Chains A and B, each alone.
Chain A
Amino acid sequence: MSFEPIWGAIIAWYLFLAGLGGGAFITSAFLGWRHPEAVSMRKVGHLIAPIAVIVGLVLLMFDAEGGLHNPLRFALLLTNFGSVMTWGVVFLGGFTVVALVVVVLDFLKKSVPVWLDIVGVVFAVCVGAYTGALLGVCKTFPLWNNALLPILFLVSAVSAGAASVLLVAVIRHADEFNRVGVLKKFHFCLPIIELVLVAALMFITSSNSVAGWNSVMSLLVGSYAPLFWIGLVLIGLVLPTALETWLLFFSPKEFEESRKAHWISFGSDAGVLVGGFLLRFLVVMAALPVTITVPML
């Protein structure tokens, strides 16, 4: 009997959007700390955060057909605090509330208190890590069942969040975009860390079980190889790193602020977003279950 993945693209979108929302909020907080002048970009991050998370949650509810047919059952989600998913609901709920309050404050042109920023960032980190831990506790799947995954997903979440804010800034707030050098350098590091984490995940997973090996092989040389190599590694990680390396460290300063450079940045950030989604999608889809019965004859 061939194994059918339990979850599909909808859940990958959910994991991606939840992480992206958290990452966008963290990006805004980072801007508040290092680039207080980038007010518009900060608001962009504040706006992206709840929208992404809410869209993700709607997708999740759409996928959970049992609840979709009987919406009252969603009220039962806070029943089992031994479940990562229950904690996820708490984190997502808390985060969404904070993020919405912040949007309201922005709308009312009131400043966001630092403590609220901190609370939001804590929730955001929890949300980002939760998306990895959700999969990570499933012993059935070696590709998921490891401590790297929450960290990888968190890094990817922050990367995607920052990319989403920068992407909008390129189009709407080019002036601010030119002045957030620290954020860009911080953001530049993330795909590199991700690359290392993905490589580590592949090495460790492939060596811990047959199912792990098969999962990794399906990514590296099997049916998911084109998406993995071209989509995730090339477009999602290597290309942004290469483009940003050139823009940040090798291109002349005046070029860096040209419209052409902006479009290159746009491409780089779009690549990060594509990679962020594909990371979730591939991890969700390519995971194969451990073999329970080994021949015994």
Chain B
Amino acid sequence: MARYGMLINTKKCIGCYACRVACQRQNDLLPTQDFIRYEEHETGTYPNVAIETVPLQCMHCEDAPCAAVCPTGAAYIGADGIVGVDEGRCIGCKYCMAACPYQVRVHNEKTGTVDKCRFCTVSAETSGTKMCSCVEACLTGARIFGDLDDPASDISKEIAATNAQPIAGDLTKSKVFYVR
């Protein structure tokens, strides 16, 4: 059984939002459903300034707070460790949104339910996309998706080479790793 994860290299991120819109288009989301959000930092003082954009999305945590608090089992940790949403079970109480430390769960104003990045399990099934849309879209190759348990996978090799870390340490055993 694979254990899927993602690596995001913020040193390659130009903050162009292509991943967000690609995700929305390929997954047929509403404009307000941003499965990827961004935190931007500028450091230094004029004129010696550096900038950093950190894209955040569902971290597919092994200790997923959303799944822990969801009263109906709509938020669950599924096959391959991918944190899923069973829309058919979601009552829209938004408890998962409050519990998620990364604030990457999004309320769908049409259905009243909550959704978030699915590592493109849905678009992969419905339209044959073989890769996460954000990975496919990233202009600079800042994203790698793959099996964390396979030492030969690109992502495992890159994590080893760059010492990529989850964004908030061991807070929730996140499976999205960052190079910063």
Contact = CB atoms under 8 A, between A and B. Distances in A.
Contacts of B152: none
A64 B101 contact: no
Interface residues of A, number: 40
Given A1-B38, A66-B112, A140-B100, A297 B69 contact: no
Contacts, number: 124
A239 to B, nearest CB: 32
Contacts of B37: 1
B173 interface: no
B72 interface: yes
Interface in A59-93: 60, 63-70, 73-74, 76-80, 82-86, 89
Contacts of B72: 73, 76-77, 79-80
Interface in B161-175: 167-168, 171
A295 B95 CA distance: 28
A66 B113 contact: yes
Contacts of B100: 140
B18 interface: no
B89 A76 contact: yes
21 contacts: A7-B94, A64-B91, A66-B111, A69-B112, A70-B88, A74-B91, A80-B73, A83-B95, A85-B71, A139-B99, A140-B99, A140-B103, A141-B98, A292-B103, A292-B167, A292-B168, A293-B39, A293-B54, A293-B56, A293-B167, A295-B43
Interface of A: 1, 3, 6-7, 60, 63-70, 73-74, 76-80, 82-86, 89, 134-135, 137-141, 289-290, 292-293, 295-297
Given A65-B92, A296-B180, A297-B41, 9 more contacts: A1-B38, A63-B94, A64-B91, A64-B93, A66-B111, A70-B88, A74-B91, A79-B71, A295-B42
Interface of B: 37-39, 41-44, 50, 52, 54, 56, 65, 68-74, 87-95, 97-103, 111-114, 167-168, 171, 180
